[in-house]
Amino acid sequence: MSAPVDATHPGSTPDPTPPVRVQRARPRRSRRRRTWRIALLTTVVLVLAAGGWLAFRGWQAATSLLHAEQIVQDVRTGLADVDTASVADRLPELEADAATARAATSDPVWRVAAHLPFVGPSFAAVATVSAALDDVAGIAGPTLDEIDTIAQVQGLRGTDGRIDLAPLAEAAPALVRAAAVVGDADDAVAGIDPDRLVGPLAGPVEQVQEGMAEVSALLDGTARFAGLLPPMLGLDGPRTYLLLSLNSAELRTAGGIVGAVAVIRAENGSIELVDQRTTLDFPATDEPVLPLTDEEVTVHTDRLGRWIQNTVMTPDFPRTAELVTAIWRSRTGEEVDGVIATDAVAIANLLEATGPIDEPGGLTLTTDNFLDELLHESYLRLRDPVEADGFFTGVASTIFRAVGDGQGEARRVVEELGKASSKHRLRVWSAHPEEQSELVQTSAGGAFLSGGADDAAGVFLDDGTTGKLDYFLTTDVQVEDVRCEADSTTAVVRVDLAYDPPADITEYPEYVTGPRGSNLPTGSVATNLTVYAPVGGEIVEMRLGDGFIGGLTATESGRAVEVLSSRLAPGERATYRFEVRTPRAVPELPVWLTPTMTSPGIMTAACG
């Protein structure tokens, strides 16, 4: 092993290079340290500055949005009550708050923060809500002016009842544009998942989502109303419609059997009754007036297309209208521009707006006595079914004339008709395709099978007694046990039936109790229940009380269907539960129903 050797030769001059390298290395490391420190310090300063800026901007946005959120609630209430003055009073505040929030959340620092882990969704949500509110606030002023035009229907109606349609037609385009802006804003905020937001932010965002959805729906309906009403009331030429009065004492899917048919004519805003018929003018045909599908025959039988009274057995009002117009054409050779149907409850509520009316026989009808007189007392006074049909037709025509002649406050008339539509007590179909394409998207369209109601389930009631005993049948419908999963939404629809006729029901006329001598005891009531799953979904199970039950299994328009029968003796009750499931996850599961004297025509099960 050799010992370490000094590489420098004795007496030689050392090579100057290594010391130079050593001396240069020190300042480089020092500069690197300084550069790193400067970078770190700069980063810290920038982060602190950005954090401070975000905090400041966040405070601006939060303050403005919390105030704006309360204003949105006031606005939705004002629009629902057609109180444009109160909305206009709050509008400057909304505009200022929305503008401040948008400015605070639209700078580059905020946009970067929206992509950070954990807190990013909250920053993005605030920016989305701010932009949506600012967009809506920007069109709110002009839109309110147009809504005010719609709301002032009374000022547009003359003493003869004629409505000045020109202002409505002029307001329609601006309302359509505004509805599109609000619809886009609604879509934007609806896409926010509150579960991904920091705790204090979730509640206000959900409130804005609910408020925006309601305002969007109200504005969309107003825009459609302004666009449809002028042509349908004869702005471009006369229109002829069939008006079906549905008798809730004998249930059908749409609300009641067709009890009377009126012909109304609309021209340039004037409406008049030109003809009226009882159902006796439309005898049953040997064959359906139009070809029925095999599914329709299985679920509804061919009665759907042979009796005008039974055309409302289908839950799809456009199909009802096709059958009714075909029957009308076969009897009269005439074409019509549309079909309107309304039930007795809607008419009773309409009397709130028109005030009392006197029917042809001299009886004064009010909101309080209308249902009892029409659906009960008249059958005791008028033992002849022909007389009873005539009374029903006379009442329907008298009320229509009162509305057409301008009786009552127009604004309240419109409000009551709107309520009837929202509860599926008023249905409208147009023979004009461009109008019908709009109507199917509204509650008045009643397009359960042919419209956009694929995610909805349905439970419908049809009288099986062939009488008028449903006046004594109380229905109560609730949606319970909603389960929202990753790939489906399930709900249980509970239907409670209670039958309480008077003690002397067996002495009532046969056309009220149903034919005697059948296998149904006189005085008992039979009801057919038809259950529809959502399109592509399923009816999981059906129960009567605590027991499982089954019925006629069928399909119609891509829906699973079950049909079963209920029989109740006087004083009896029955509770049915139908579990239905969608084929995919949906936030809401609407359930379409038969509107009765005690239940509306639609309910909605919501997740969360």
Asked if 255 and 594 touch (Cβ cutoff 8 Å), the reply is yes
Rounded Cα gap, residues 79 and 214, in angstroms: 9
User: 588-593 and 338-343: which strand pairing?
Assistant: unpaired
Query: Torsion-angle region of residue 105: left (phi > 0), alpha (psi -120 to 50) or beta?
Result: alpha
**For residue 304, what pLDDT band results from cuts at 50, 70 and 90?**
very high
What value does the mean pLDDT of the chain take? 84
pLDDT at 135: 87
Phi, psi of 602 (to 5 degrees): -160, 145
Percentage of the chain lying above the pLDDT 90 cut: 53
pLDDT at 291: 98
pLDDT at 82: 57
Q: Which residues pair with 548 in a beta bridge?
A: 543
Q: Region 225-244: what's the mean pLDDT?
A: 94
pLDDT at 55: 43
Q: Region 331-340: what's the mean pLDDT?
A: 97
Q: Which of 57-66, 158-167, 255-264 has the lowest mean pLDDT?
A: 57-66
Asked if 424 and 415 touch (Cβ cutoff 8 Å), the reply is no
Q: Indicate the CATH number of 453-606 among 3.40.630, 3.40.50, 1.20.272, 2.60.40.
A: 2.60.40
Among the listed residues 252, 228, 253, the one whose alpha carbon sits nearest the alpha carbon of residue 241? 228
Q: Which residues pair with 239 in a beta bridge?
A: 266
Higher pLDDT, 140 or 491: 491
Which one of 37-46, 226-235, 307-316 scores highest in mean pLDDT?
A: 307-316
Q: Region 337-354: what's the mean pLDDT?
A: 95
pLDDT at 209 over 80: yes
Asked if 558 and 535 touch (Cβ cutoff 8 Å), the reply is yes
**For residue 255, what pLDDT band results from cuts at 50, 70 and 90?**
very high
Local structure of 111: helix, strand or coil: helix
pLDDT at 76: 65
Rounded Cα gap, residues 260 and 256, in angstroms: 11
Higher pLDDT, 388 or 548: 548
Asked if 257 and 356 touch (Cβ cutoff 8 Å), the reply is no
Rounded Cα gap, residues 502 and 525, in angstroms: 13
Report the predicted TM-score, pTM, of the whole model to 2 decimal places.
0.83
Q: In a 10 Å sphere around its CB, with 0-12 CB exposed, 13-18 middle and 19+ buried, how is residue 477 labelled?
A: buried
Q: Between the CA atoms of 182, 187, 188 and 193, what dihedral angle is there, to the nearest 10 degrees? A: 140
Which one of 78-87, 115-124, 497-506, 513-522 scores highest in mean pLDDT?
A: 497-506
pLDDT at 595 over 90: yes
Residue carrying structure tokens 């005008």? 308
pLDDT at 263 over 50: yes
Among the listed residues 245, 289, 284, the one whose alpha carbon sits nearest the alpha carbon of residue 264? 245
Q: Region 311-318: what's the mean pLDDT?
A: 99
pLDDT at 603 over 60: yes
**For residue 455, what pLDDT band results from cuts at 50, 70 and 90?**
very high
Q: Region 429-452: what's the mean pLDDT?
A: 95
Q: Region 460-485: what's the mean pLDDT?
A: 96
Q: Which of 101-110, 384-393, 577-586 has the lowest mean pLDDT?
A: 101-110
Rounded Cα gap, residues 158 and 146, in angstroms: 20
Rounded Cα gap, residues 214 and 5, in angstroms: 93
pLDDT at 160: 67
Among the listed residues 90, 65, 95, the one whose alpha carbon sits nearest the alpha carbon of residue 76? 90
Distance from first CA to last CA of the chain, Å, rounded? 85
Rounded Cα gap, residues 212 and 404, in angstroms: 35
Q: How far is CA 29 from CA 23, 72, 582, in A?
A: 11, 61, 68
Q: Region 438-445: what's the mean pLDDT?
A: 94
**For residue 396, what pLDDT band results from cuts at 50, 70 and 90?**
confident
Asked if 523 and 569 touch (Cβ cutoff 8 Å), the reply is yes
Q: Which of 53-67, 260-274, 279-293 has the lowest mean pLDDT?
A: 53-67
pLDDT at 585 over 90: yes
Percentage of the chain lying above the pLDDT 70 cut: 81
DSSP-derived secondary structure letter, 399: H
pLDDT at 482 over 60: yes
**For residue 116, what pLDDT band results from cuts at 50, 70 and 90?**
confident
Among the listed residues 385, 389, 386, 380, the one whose alpha carbon sits nearest the alpha carbon of residue 502? 380
**Domain extent listing, the chain:** 29-232, 239-438, 453-606
Rounded Cα gap, residues 69 and 161, in angstroms: 41
Over the stretch 7-66, which tens digit does the pLDDT of each residue have?
Answer: 333 344 344 444 444 444 455 555 555 444 444 333 333 333 333 333 434 444 455 556
pLDDT at 385: 82
pLDDT at 216 over 90: no
**For residue 4, what pLDDT band results from cuts at 50, 70 and 90?**
very low
Q: Region 572-600: what's the mean pLDDT?
A: 97
Rounded Cα gap, residues 63 and 464, in angstroms: 61
pLDDT at 606: 86
User: Which CATH fold would you assign to the domain 239-438?
Assistant: Aminopeptidase (3.40.630)
Which one of 21-35, 65-79, 217-231 scores highest in mean pLDDT?
A: 217-231
Rounded Cα gap, residues 512 and 222, in angstroms: 42
Q: Region 370-396: what's the mean pLDDT?
A: 89
Rounded Cα gap, residues 557 and 535, in angstroms: 8
